[in-house]
Chain A
Amino acid sequence: MTSKDQYALEVNNLAVEFATYGGTVKAVRNVSFKLRKGTTLAIVGESGCGKSVTVQSIMGLIPMPPGKITSGSALLNGEEILGLRQDRLNEYRGKRIGMIFQDAMSALNPTMTIGDQIAETLIVHRGLDKKSAWAEVISLLALTQISEPDRRALQYPFELSGGMLQRVMIAMSLACQPDVLIADEPTTALDVTIQAQILNLLRSLQEKQGLSIILITHDLGVVARMAHDVAVMYAGQIVETGSVDDIFYRSAHPYTVGLKDAMPSNKTVDQELRVIEGSPPDLFAPPVGCGFYARCAHAMKVCENNTPILFGTNHVARCWLHHAKAPVHPLQQSLKVPYQSTSIK
């Protein structure tokens, strides 16, 4: 099987900068990842780590200037999609890659009915006439299990709740039957009960339509429920990637461990939360060495001035602890377990 058949999206060495009055922000620094067909890749990280900028560059949504993609490639089913002209961009954006956002209310047009907004996509991209577009709108809305799809299509965004708006966004992003769906914090603004409904919906759509999903989130609980593979981002770089089990049970990077320990788990009653001291580095002048150096409990001398290389093959960590010359450390065991791809029910 060639990589084109195996991966829906392959991103290599992506680097993005923004020119600001304060200087150049190196928001994304040499990010590479692969999205296996029909699976979910979660990109996890805290605000400002570059996770949204990464997917926005892939979608061609970065305003340039001030933004600039300084290097890298993104292959959608083997075809390069970075740096396309506007007209070529519109052929895949919305059509072959759909996107949903955290704030569905502000992503929708408040002066158009739900139905008209979804129909617009169908008329522009799929060339449907008005009447068949409307029929398709209703069936798309029904697909998202929204209550009373016929009535919702005639309503305006302000009349719907956050959960319903997120269903509308999903209906709209699926209108052109994309191969890849990018979901940027789709449930962050929702209640847990509604979050569970939306996550279930995404999972059943994946099963039915073979969707490949990139899920951006900071919630490790959502990652555990949804992801097959995970990429952990910190300070503009991916610091660890692997299957969801690798990341949770065999974490190889101190930052991944820190994130896990900072979240309460309900498995043990008397868990002590551990705090990651300090704050992320300034990306105006990213550290010469490891981005996590200043906050890392296991930092060594080499970490201060040398950016770590990637260690491991399928489960990969950007950390000097895995170098052959590093002193013995428990995290080193993590990369020695053979990779198994995870399947989710």
Chain B
Amino acid sequence: MIIEARQLRKYFTIAKGQVVHAVDDVSLGIEENEVVGLVGESGSGKTTFGKTLIGLHDKTAGEVFYRGQNLPSHYRAEDFKKQASEIQIIFQDPYSSLNPRMTIGEIVAEGVLIRDRCSFASVRDRVVYWLERVGLHSDHLSRYPHEFSGGQRQRVGIARALIVEPKLLVCDEPISALDVSVQAQVVKLLDELKSSMGLSMLFIAHDLSMVRYISDRMAVMYLGSLIELGPADNVYFSPKHPYTQLLVKSNPEPDPEYERQRSDALIQGEILSPINLKPGCRFAGRCPLVEARCREERPLLREVAPGHQVACHLVN
């Protein structure tokens, strides 16, 4: 296991007596050279989980082990320096995550310069190598982020993360800002890097089809809870949790014949606010199968098939 979260919890206090339960006791491990896809609606806590996992948020409770070593619950500057060459993140927004006053060369080189305390000249070739690897060009070195399209910026973000040759990469919605044909380019690139560098990845996204394509295992979050986890194809093709079932049913398929036969069974209502949550199953308010005990007792993840875990009272 390269990284493992045990009962990881992240709460935000937004006002007196108002606590956002962004991540609530999530336990999730990623094996070496494995891609775990994390899906869920906006507000389900998937980005907060990714950021808390690698120390960008302080932990409220719980532990994170990186290759067996317990990571601090509050990172100091030295911790980031130590950790950053092995754990990297690609941020969701390619516009706000690049410093507009730095050139592409400076942005991509920065990690290596800090880690190795060397000069730009000595790493220039490596920067060019990584720019080309992600489909950019050495001419781009001295340009600024505003001169690039969203897709190109996202690739700058990927080059920046990968130049330090990390072991674990957290991809926070790396493709949602991109066009269809560019999405395929980025996903193929990540897939190829997984094989060539032995990368492990947490791939956070809301595009179920893309997550199923790239992931070995798929995890589903709802209102801060992990509700289903298993091999990606099993979770997609035979989802066990009522929420996952509705999520898969809502996913549009690029096939008109299939779409014409689709049932209209849709999930009703919207995701609740994660402030001061009530006890019981997080999905009880929207669940078509809800029973009395769902509102009282919060279901825990249980294994229902080999490697396939579900948090639902009604699944045997």
Q: Is the CB of A225 within 8 A of B259?
A: yes
Whether B266 pairs with A266 at a CB distance below 8 angstroms is no
With A196-B250, A200-B264, A265-B209 as known contacts, state yes or no: A224 contacts B256, CB within 8 Å: yes
Of A46, A200, A248, A342, the contact of B266 (CB 8 Å cutoff): A200
Contact B254 A276 (CB under 8 A): no
| Given A258-B181, A264-B210, A275-B181, also A219-B253 (CB < 8 A) | no
A333 touches B (CB below 8 Å): no
Which of B93-101, B182-190, B295-303, B304-312 is the contact stretch? B182-190
Q: Are A275 and B188 in contact (CB under 8 A)?
A: yes
Q: Which of B233, B252, B260 contacts A195 (CB 8 A)?
A: B252
Inside 8 A of A345's CB, which chain B residues have their CB? 260
Closest to B261 in A: A345
Complex Cα distance, B299 from A63, in Å, reads 56
C-alpha spacing A263/B209, complex, angstroms: 8
Given contacts A248-B254, A273-B213, contact A194 B270 (CB under 8 A): yes
Nearest to A227 among chain B residues (CB) is: B256
- Complex Cα gap A329–B57 (Å): 56
Query: Contact at B42–A220, with CB atoms within 8 Å?
Result: no
Cβ of B116 under 8 Å from chain A: no
B59 at interface by CB-CB < 8 Å: no
Cα-based distance from A342 to B14 in the complex (angstroms): 52
Q: How far is the CA of A264 from the CA of B237 in the complex (A)?
A: 14
Interface flags for B152-190 (1: CB within 8 Å of A; 0: not) read: 000000000000000000000000000111111101100
Determine how close the nearest CB of chain B comes to the CB of A80; give it in whole angstroms: 33
Q: How far is the CB of A98 from chain B (nearest CB, A)?
A: 23
Distance in Å: Cβ of A16 to nearest Cβ of chain B:
21
Partner of A147 from the list B209, B262, B269, B271 (CB cut-off 8 Å) is: B269
Q: List 16 A-B contacts (CB under 8 A).
A: A191-B42, A193-B41, A218-B179, A221-B254, A224-B254, A224-B256, A244-B256, A248-B255, A249-B256, A266-B236, A266-B237, A269-B233, A273-B213, A274-B184, A275-B181, A275-B185
A: which residues have CB within 8 A of B? 46-47, 147, 161-164, 191-197, 199-200, 218-225, 227, 244-245, 248-249, 258-260, 262-267, 269, 271, 273-276, 342, 344-345
Q: Which 5 A-B pairs have the closest CB atoms?
A: A221-B252, A220-B254, A262-B184, A196-B250, A264-B213
Beyond known contacts A161-B270, A344-B260: 16 more, CB 8 A cutoff: A47-B179, A192-B41, A193-B267, A196-B266, A200-B266, A219-B252, A220-B254, A221-B251, A221-B252, A225-B252, A244-B256, A245-B256, A266-B212, A276-B181, A342-B256, A345-B260
